[in-house]
Chains A and B, each alone.
Chain A
Amino acid sequence: MNERSITQYYRKHRKAIVTATSGLLYGGGWSLGHLTSFDMASAVILVFATVVGGYDIAQTAYHEVSNRTLGIKTLVTLAAIGAIIIGEYWEAAAVVFLFSLGSYLEGRTMRKTRTALQELLEMTPDTATVRRDGELQEVPAREVEEGEVVVVKPGGKIPVDGTVIDGESAVNQAPVTGESAPVHKADGDGVYAGTVNQEGALEIRTTGAGSDTTLERIIRRVEEAQEAQSPTESLIDRFAKYYTPAVIALAIGAYAVTQNAILSLTLLVIGCPGALVIGPPVSIVSAIGNAARSGVLMKGGEHLERAGKIDLVAFDKTGTLTKGETTVADVEGFGIADDEVLSLAATTEKKSEHHLADAIVDAARERPTAATDGGATVANAVEADRNPRSIPDPDDFDVVAGKGVVARYDGHEIVVGNRALLDDRGIDIPSRVADYVREREERGETVVHVIRDGDVIGTIAMRDELREAAPDVVAALRDAGIKTMMLTGDNERTAAAVAEEVGIDEYRAELLPEDKQSVIEACQADGHVVAMVGDGINDAPSLATADVGIAMGAAGTDTAIETADMALMADDLERIPYAVTLSKATRWNVLENVGLAVLTVTVLLAGVLTSYITLASGMLVHEASVLAVILNGMRLLRY
């Protein structure tokens, strides 16, 4: 080992070396004093142990005082100097050594918490293989431009956000979405930087590189979340500012009254609020870091603490409990051909952005024998796929929010909507139509009526498949003591069928978007702490009203990352029980840490006042309590 590497080694391990040296000197000094009669030599060694172990502490204390902040290092320095002045060399060396050992262990453990986020950052590769001028070039990943083509070999990490333009593979998206199973990717699918290409080579057209990737955005959000203090943290921070000067005042007061310097110095050491101040942030940072690695973005301590009190989870139905891929299950004409019903409905709905409208228009485009605006009739579905039907535009078009659409086409008024819209317009539903609709709704399907010039000419039944995980998620929440509720614009019968299938506790049907918000407000007025789960865009008002808004599938939409209190990166419902129970565990963890800290100071104070606690044993217990709260908080890293 040359001189330079020795210096580097010393710098890197300075704290451990100083602590060990101070400990050895302390042990030697103590042995000399207790086992031999070399009292003077023992005193000299103990003072030396205090100086070696205390130099860094005193230096920081000097900075603390000169920057007008008072912390434990100032208290420890005062205690050590005081102990030497009154001849208690053993106590001085013990306090310094135990503090040094405690803060070394504390530093090691805290570093683990602090590096949890760095691991996420290291997921992104530094270089990318880019196709430029027909040749493959290795370039720094940050320098890849939008639109460039990146090639990723099997087993390689994907360096950019982009769209697959060639190749097929299974991609492990765990770093971004938390999904444990690989996701199949082929032409046209989006991929994220930091994910791992497992099987085949992929060519990817870049949509974002460097700091403009989903993973980087998540990391930035997580960092910001870690900085946002929870109410408990803010309270303790404010408290700590006044507490340390108060401890010094108490120690001076105790000396003035009792003239007992040891008592006064012990008060200084044990009075420091170390565990109290350190506990809550460690718990919260650990929980946010764990959640991030599992694909759940927590937007800060405040939301995390509130989420710990959730006792009701409200789910939006479409796209949340269901897959959000509505398809037409059945078209029934009453007095006219089924295809004509579908064709008219598609024209009416063509300009609507509602998901039911999309399903109707898609069905009409793909239906092999659907009536069209005069185009040639195609023979089969394969042909329709290749050459989808064009749908004519309506002459005018009006959306009735939450109820349906009214349009004019070819001289007729066409209405496509739910029962409420028919009631509003005074349209009677023939009994055979009503019977048919009831039967479909009892299967959990959503039915819209098609009306031409005031007469019901047909119905379209649509189905949105439930997510497979939905019943298990609802059951897991119930097991955690949390009530569940489904909010939907669907009619009562469809909602009841879906609610029964999922096993949800309560449902509210036939809701307009603003009604969902009112339902949440009513639940809050009943004393519930409500979480609302939605897709982050359509449900914005109810997500904002709920105590905790949980957006799903946020990896694909920046809006969801920006607006929700909690965001699930993947469309993975199973993360919800995890996120809610993690929040509850965090809240308990913070309370445990605060409780342990207060209990320690109370017991130590009682011990000092009854002379059971010495300066050294006070420091030992104090440092042990600091380590205990850090280790307790770090349990959340592996929750």
Chain B
Amino acid sequence: MSDTTQFRVMDFDCPTCASTVERALSNVNGVQHVEVHYATGRVEIEYDDSVADPDVFAQTIENQGYTPQPA
């Protein structure tokens, strides 16, 4: 089953930061679609909940050097 979750990242410095997080999240197992927006800091992830572990998403964002907050 497909599900979606959102985060807000307030410490993006530039649009490339957003692209970097987008790429990293799209490589997470079970993620179907990711949209990360620099200007609003909004991260929207669509994933297959039988495969993906949503806890991994926040960790992935942190691993890229940014602080995810629940949206």
Contacts and interface: CB of A to CB of B under 8 A. Distances in A.
A277 B40 contact: no
A479 to B, nearest CB: 32
B64 A63 contact: yes
A23 interface: no
Given A114-B10, A223-B40, A227-B40, A278 B15 contact: yes
B23 to A, nearest CB: 4
B20 A63 contact: yes
B10 to A, nearest CB: 5
Looking at A71, A111, A226, A278, the one whose CB has the most chain B CB atoms below 10 A away is A71
Interface in B1-24: 8, 10-17, 19-20, 23-24
**B interface majority secondary structure:** loop
B20 A60 contact: yes
Contacts of B10: 111, 114-115
Contacts of A63: 20, 24, 63-65
A281 B40 CA distance: 9
A114 B40 contact: yes
B48 interface: no
Nearest to A222: B40
Contacts of B12: 110
Looking at B16, B20, B24, B35, the one whose CB has the most chain A CB atoms below 10 A away is B16
Contacts of A110: 12, 39
Contact of B37 (A64, A71, A73, A226): A226
A113 B39 contact: yes
Contacts of B65: 56, 59-60, 63
What band does the interface of chain A fall in when counting residues whose beta carbon is under 8 Å from B? 35 or more
Given A107-B13, A237-B15, A64 B20 contact: yes
A70 B24 CA distance: 14
A226 B16 contact: no
Interface residues of B, number: 24
Nearest to B24: A67
A72 interface: yes
Given A60-B65, A106-B13, A278-B14, A69 B19 contact: yes
Contacts of B54: none
A226 B37 CA distance: 9
B23 A69 contact: yes
B16 A69 contact: yes
Nearest to A225: B40
Contacts of A72: 14, 16
Contacts of B15: 71, 237, 240, 277-278, 281
A225 to B, nearest CB: 10
A368 to B, nearest CB: 59
Contact of A70 (B16, B35, B38, B64): B16
A284 B37 CA distance: 13
A50 B22 CA distance: 28
Interface of A: 15, 56, 59-60, 63-64, 67-73, 103, 106-107, 110-111, 113-115, 117, 223, 226-227, 237, 240, 244, 274, 277-278, 281-282, 284-285
Given A71-B19, A278-B38, 11 more contacts: A56-B65, A63-B65, A71-B16, A117-B40, A223-B40, A226-B40, A226-B42, A227-B35, A227-B37, A274-B14, A285-B39
30 contacts: A63-B63, A63-B64, A64-B20, A67-B23, A67-B24, A67-B64, A69-B20, A69-B23, A70-B16, A71-B15, A71-B16, A71-B17, A71-B20, A72-B14, A103-B14, A107-B11, A110-B12, A111-B11, A114-B8, A114-B10, A223-B42, A226-B37, A226-B39, A226-B42, A227-B35, A277-B14, A278-B14, A278-B38, A284-B39, A285-B40
